[in-house]
């Protein structure tokens, strides 16, 4: 296992402690080794993202999506089948087991919509930075302000 030491970067950054801890956790493998269901994360615009999950065999009623405290949780569970609906499978390649997948969201990322189409669950996200947090231009004043008061001493004759 490879470990990256970010301590030299702490000297030249301010307020990015959370960013480095997130990078550290990304480098570590998942504890539960969960690979189901497969998913894609794509950038669809400057501040827009989309998570696409392959959830074949699940309906809208079988899935739940919850966003809370910078964590997006997608869970799926199929209801128990009744005895008369049981079938005998010769090969079962389409998984229908219950799952729960969590995604760590960055600050100011909101879930905008979710759509289930052709066995793919599309979750659209948008980053909305508050006006107070957006970059602003700071004017630089010249040190020789002509409107300011200047104290003059009387010349000694």
> Is the model more confident about 41 or about 152?
41
If pLDDT is split at 50, 70 and 90, which confidence band does 6 have? low
Alpha-carbon distance 155 to 153, whole Å? 6
pTM comes to 0.63
CB 121 within 8 A of CB 59: no
- Residue 99 has which token pair? 């799952």
Q: What pLDDT was estimated at residue 52? A: 94
Q: What pLDDT was estimated at residue 141? A: 84
Q: pLDDT at residue 125 above 80? A: yes
> Is the model more confident about 151 or about 137?
137
- Residue 20 has which token pair? 């480095």
Q: What pLDDT was estimated at residue 113? A: 94
H-type alpha helices, the chain:
7-10, 17-27
Q: What is the pLDDT of residues 68-121, one digit of tens each?
A: 988 899 999 988 766 556 778 888 888 778 999 998 888 888 899 999 999 999
Domains observed in the chain: 1-33 (no CATH), 34-133 (2.60.40.790)
H-type alpha helices, 28-139:
none
**What distance separates the 2 farthest-apart alpha carbons in the chain?**
117
């Amino acid at each position: 296992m490879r470990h990256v030491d970010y301590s030299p970067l702490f000297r030249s950054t301010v307020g990015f402690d959370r960013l480095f801890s997130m990078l550290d956790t990304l480098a570590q493998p998942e504890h539960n080794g969960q690979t189901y269901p497969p998913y894609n994360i794509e950038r669809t615009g400057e501040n827009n993202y989309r998570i696409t999950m392959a959830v074949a065999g699940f309906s809208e009623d079988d899935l739940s999506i919850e966003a809370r405290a910078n964590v997006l949780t997608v869970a799926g569970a199929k209801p128990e089948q009744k005895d008369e609906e049981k079938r005998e499978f010769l090969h079962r390649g389409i998984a229908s087991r219950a799952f729960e997948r969590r995604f760590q969201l960055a600050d100011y990322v909101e879930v905008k919509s979710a759509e289930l189409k052709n066995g793919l669950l599309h979750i659209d996200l948008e980053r909305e930075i508050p006006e107070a947090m957006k970059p602003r231009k700071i004017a630089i004043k010249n040190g020789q302000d002509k409107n300011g008061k200047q104290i003059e001493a009387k010349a000694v004759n």
